[in-house]
A and B are shown apart, each in its own frame.
Chain A
């Protein structure tokens, strides 16, 4: 199952970028959906595209696959110019689309075999690989079941297994856990980490901050078609946000804040809906004041969502 590929192509040499994009732009009917996106994805990393719905994540992914020709910009994936040689690149890419594209007329096993046939795979090698993937996706014992009777989580795992049928060097996943329950999400994350341990490169879009924080080595925050920040989750948090967050909500919080007037130096207030977020390097004075006034609050470390709020100035539009 290791992503063993011939190592003679330049894209496979260590640290050579697997994806290189400059100034990618896409307009639909005069509306700019992707606006000068530049990305570099390194071999073996998990790279995240994080952003709200409509930020241009899916369009960017489609560009990488050659399914959306950019209006401007340059793009190389696995050493192939895209979209010119997208088909050739896709022989070494696995795709997990956002929406289910499994074949409802086929069983679990038939889905894998049929998809493999699109890559020209057959015979002994394929039979062995199908068994390995059924194991990997925990679908043993269900191989002859029609896919309509699978749960959402099983369908996702089958889709992931299907994406690995060609032993891809790069797997592209568009919101792989959207709509799944917590257990099913953990199942998927577990398998994605297994892939990373085998040096498969992953590009993943998500609007779940915790998913991005858990999985991604580096990520690009995208808003309105632009990359507004790109680094590791930890570095993004360190660079952009105070380490402590105190959350207040409800009427009592509003009254309390009004009474406070301006917050002291070193405490930054950000309101989202009826929630007030106070960011600070030293939370102790603030907590003392809150405790003294008997207010309910939540004190937590800063996370990606806070970075996102600060950089975009607005809430996630989930």
Chain B
């Protein structure tokens, strides 16, 4: 992979399409997570009360911001990317132009990361309006969320590379994304789990995102920042490399 910026052509093409459906896209970005936040936060929060020093709404808001980056990037890297690969043949058109599979996969993952960031940022705005964010240090969560989007976008593209149809993505959601969601401290603290389960959770990237983002939103400094970033990035780089390889094998044959 020689370094170049050609992937931006792919990224920009997706941005142009997204701008055409701006209103429904943004509604989607805000809508569902806000409903979760309000329903769970008020409904569940009453039962749970505070978690240590932290009101449950504050705890949940930071969790949902992280999981939203994961979900949005995963969706983009699977359903949308698959549509462009296999249904609309967008990638095949790109391969007639001077773009390579490397450019396309990197551009798609960068776009999935961007969408992940946009949806997480939308909830961050809502959380700030609801008074659930401590101070402006919360902005430091944005690069972490972008990286998280990159990682889950890249892993989703690995699944896309294998897929014969949309149905296949359900396996990934059921077997990977949902367990990741439940194991990563989004809805409740990881300390609730026995030690082996906690260990397992820290093998997954989302737990590290939560470890970084939650303190930043509540006005404290996260610890072991480099370690957390390294785990998330490792999944992202591995995902990108594997996805590129598999998709090259699928398209260049």
Contacts and interface: CB of A to CB of B under 8 A. Distances in A.
Interface stretch (B92-100, B121-129, B131-139, B178-186): B92-100
Interface in A90-138: 90-91, 93, 95, 97, 99-106, 110, 114-115, 117-120
Which are the 3 A-B pairs with shortest beta-carbon distances?
A95-B96, A118-B97, A101-B93
Contacts of B198: none
Contacts of A93: 96
A97 B98 contact: no
A97 B93 CA distance: 8
Interface magnitude class on chain B: 20 to 34
Contacts of A291: none
A115 B9 CA distance: 9
B93 A115 contact: yes
Contact of B16 (A95, A100, A110): A110
Interface residues of A, number: 29
Contact of B17 (A97, A105, A163): A105
B102 to A, nearest CB: 10
A105 B17 CA distance: 6
A99 B89 contact: yes
A153 interface: no
B92 A105 contact: no
Contacts of A163: 96
A8 B15 CA distance: 38
B93 to A, nearest CB: 4
19 contacts: A67-B252, A87-B98, A87-B100, A90-B96, A90-B98, A93-B96, A95-B97, A101-B89, A101-B93, A101-B96, A102-B93, A103-B17, A103-B88, A103-B93, A106-B17, A114-B16, A117-B9, A117-B12, A118-B94
Given A97-B93, A106-B17, A110-B16, A118 B99 contact: yes
A65 interface: yes
By secondary structure, the A interface counts as loop
A68 interface: yes
B91 to A, nearest CB: 9
A119 B97 contact: yes
B218 interface: no
B83 to A, nearest CB: 10
A69 interface: yes
Contacts of B97: 90, 95, 115, 118-119, 166
A69 B16 contact: no
Nearest to B100: A87
B13 A68 contact: no
A88 interface: yes
Interface string A143-173: 0000000000000000000010010000000
A207 B94 CA distance: 26
Contact of A104 (B88, B252, B253): B88
A156 to B, nearest CB: 14
Contacts of A104: 88
Interface of B: 9, 12-13, 16-17, 20, 88-90, 92-100, 251-253
B9 A118 contact: yes
Given A101-B89, A106-B17, A91 B96 contact: no
Interface of A: 28, 65, 67-69, 87-88, 90-91, 93, 95, 97, 99-106, 110, 114-115, 117-120, 163, 166
B252 A101 contact: no
Q: Which of B17, B92, B93, B100 counts the most A-chain CB atoms under 10 A from its CB?
A: B93
A186 to B, nearest CB: 25
Q: Which of A28, A102, A118, A119 counts the most B-chain CB atoms under 10 A from its CB?
A: A118
A36 B122 CA distance: 58
B111 to A, nearest CB: 14
Given A87-B100, A103-B90, A118-B9, A67 B95 contact: yes
Contacts of B93: 97, 101-103, 115
A110 B12 CA distance: 13
Nearest to B88: A104
Nearest to B91: A101
Given A68-B253, A97-B92, A119 B98 contact: yes
A96 to B, nearest CB: 9
A97 B98 CA distance: 15
Nearest to A93: B96
A203 to B, nearest CB: 13
A17 B92 CA distance: 27
Contacts of B252: 67-69
Contacts of B251: 67
A110 to B, nearest CB: 7
A167 B253 CA distance: 28
Contacts of A99: 89
B23 to A, nearest CB: 15
A95 B97 CA distance: 8
Contacts of A110: 16
A118 B9 CA distance: 6
B253 A117 contact: no
